[in-house]
Chain A
Amino acid sequence: MPILNKPIIFDRNNFGNGFEKGIKGRPIDIVLEIRESGLKGRGGAGFPTGTKWMLAATAVSPKKYVICNADEGEPGTFKDRLLLTEYTDELLQGMILCGYAIGAKEGYIYLRGEYEYMLSHINGVINKFHEEGKLGKGIFGKNFDFDISVRLGSGAYVCGEESALIESLEGHRGEPRNRPPYPVNTGYMGYPTVVNNVETLVSVPIIINKGAEWFRNIGTEKSRGTKLLSISGDVERPGIYEVPFGTKIIDMLEMVRAKDTKAVQIGGASGICIPEEELHRNLSFEDVPTGGSIIVFNKSRDMLKILKNFMEFFTEESCGQCTPCRVGNKKLLDGVNMIEQGKCSVKYLRELIDLGRTMQVSSKCGLGQSSPNPFITIMTHFGDEILAEHY
């Protein structure tokens, strides 16, 4: 399963010897290079990777950890599937570079339970790294030890949230923690921990090889580089694509040969729904941010049915800890069912949209803060159509 268009950053010609170069240099240079590149977290939230690493690097602690968040669970996302199988070497290199940069000796890959079939492959590559002296003691003859092990999830979307992931690693229910403190300060087992998305980590050896300057020249001012997109739904060629940040949604649709598009869900279930009239907007942290999930709907689709699917997902996948998310998502789902039965007044619908806004600001973690997004955007753009159909 390759990248279906011509890869830009993830072109194999770009890999070179970034890994060796990084380890042979000073740790701080890696942090500075990554910071200079403007790389932001690819999981969706977009926190500057260099800043995260700098915080972890400067923390004084007897232990530090690097965690690769491979709990790709956002509906419509599958790009990590590709990276974990085809770019495994680069992923491990990225983790080792991060460990070297921040002063960690241990790394974990938190692999979603659904990807268990990849386990033997990844462990094989880890063993190969050990044999090649790229993992273990005294890597590249340096006074630097690093080890990586893979840990599996067991089917919980919320564990993609970094602090829930850490809770899960520690053997608890995957319930997000209160922040502050952030994981870079108090993470796995209470030690400073960097949690990065697979795509972020794979980018690292490439940036070290090609230089921050090269990377900065791709993308937009606040969104450097490219984004891997997992595109599914009503398109002729679903699959994984790499596009520079700033790409217009409409151009992307053309690339995958989408026809008769009614709306595009960007960022998965927790993302926003873009209607036809806004397809000229672009994919970037400035405009429409995304973790890479793109789901396309054509004109035959019933938007209420789609929304119902999303809300069922969140009602089940909320960790159940905080009130706005646990009960709020259920109320939004009930609202969808009421609309379906023609029992929801416009007044109550407005009340629910308002509730969605409360959930966005008062939920404990990113899941609850983003779960009302599809409700709000679909009801804003397609509310009239939906109500007209269900009265």
Chain B
Amino acid sequence: MLASEVSALNEEIQELVQTLGNGRQALMPILQHIQRKHGYISAHAQQEVARLLKIHPVEVDGVVTFYAFFRKGRRAKYNIRLCQTISCDLMNKDGIAKTFERELGIKFGEVTKDEKYSLEFISCLGMCDQGPAMLINNEVYTNLTPRKVVDILNSLK
């Protein structure tokens, strides 16, 4: 990271702590803000948060790695997370997954070379009556069909 990026990030985290509080109970909201804005929570960000909340960096890491929505590394521009839980599974999740893999040329758990798309599975989204469902970044898509998947991917380009 460039020095200017570091100081911008530090400033941003300081502001978050000022508005959300410096107690440990503010940890999740702070991490959520960082995740939302940057798409990931870097080692530096974790340590800065730990310092301001007066907890150990490894405890922040423990929290970050516990929750599925937090990530430690850079993420693709479009993070595609397909629900793999039972109701979506019954509604041809496998077919949707294959479509994605074929269209993007990567497997689930991988990122395209241009870092534009990443494929992941996720647990139940609460869209069981409209499965298969997925999230692209934070947006929900439901009632997926292979055809619809192709359309959605085209609309992202």
Q: A residues near B, CB below 8 A?
A: 72-78, 80-81, 112-117, 151-157, 168-174, 189, 230-234, 238-240, 265, 269, 293, 295, 297, 301, 305-306, 309-310, 312-313, 316-317, 319
Per CB-CB distance, the 8 closest pairs between chain A and chain B, nearest first, are: A171-B27, A155-B68, A154-B67, A238-B129, A171-B24, A232-B128, A155-B69, A154-B69
Contacts of B84 in A (CB 8 A): 309, 312
Contacts of A293 in B (CB 8 A): 128
Give which listed residue, B70, B123, B131, contacts A313 with CB less than 8 A. Answer: B123
Complex A-B: 20 CB contacts under 8 Å: A72-B126, A78-B128, A81-B126, A116-B138, A152-B32, A153-B67, A154-B35, A154-B68, A155-B122, A169-B25, A171-B23, A171-B25, A171-B53, A232-B128, A233-B90, A295-B86, A295-B90, A309-B89, A313-B86, A317-B123
| Cβ-defined contact, B69 with A113, below 8 A | yes
| Cβ-defined contact, A170 with B126, below 8 A | no
| Cβ-defined contact, B86 with A310, below 8 A | yes
Cβ of B125 within 8 Å of any chain A Cβ, yes or no, is: yes
| Cβ-defined contact, A78 with B127, below 8 A | yes
In the bound complex, CA of A73 to CA of B123 (Å): 8
Number of A-B contacts (CB under 8 A): 128
Give which listed residue, B25, B32, B85, contacts A154 with CB less than 8 A. Answer: B32
The interface bits of chain B over 67-90 (1 if a CB of A lies within 8 angstroms of the residue's CB, else 0) are 111100000000000001111011
Q: A73-B126, A295-B87, A309-B86 are in contact. List 20 more A-B contacts (CB 8 A).
A: A73-B123, A76-B128, A80-B126, A81-B126, A114-B140, A152-B28, A154-B35, A154-B70, A155-B67, A155-B69, A155-B70, A157-B124, A172-B63, A231-B129, A238-B129, A295-B86, A295-B128, A301-B90, A306-B86, A319-B66
- CB-nearest residue of chain B to A173: B66
Q: B residues near A, CB below 8 A?
A: 23-29, 31-32, 35, 53, 62-63, 66-70, 84-87, 89-90, 122-131, 135, 138-140
Contacts of B89 in A (CB 8 A): 305-306, 309
Contacts of A233 in B (CB 8 A): 86-87, 90
Contacts of A81 in B (CB 8 A): 126
| Cβ-defined contact, B123 with A168, below 8 A | no
A234/B90 contact (C-beta < 8 A), A151-B28, A171-B28 known: yes
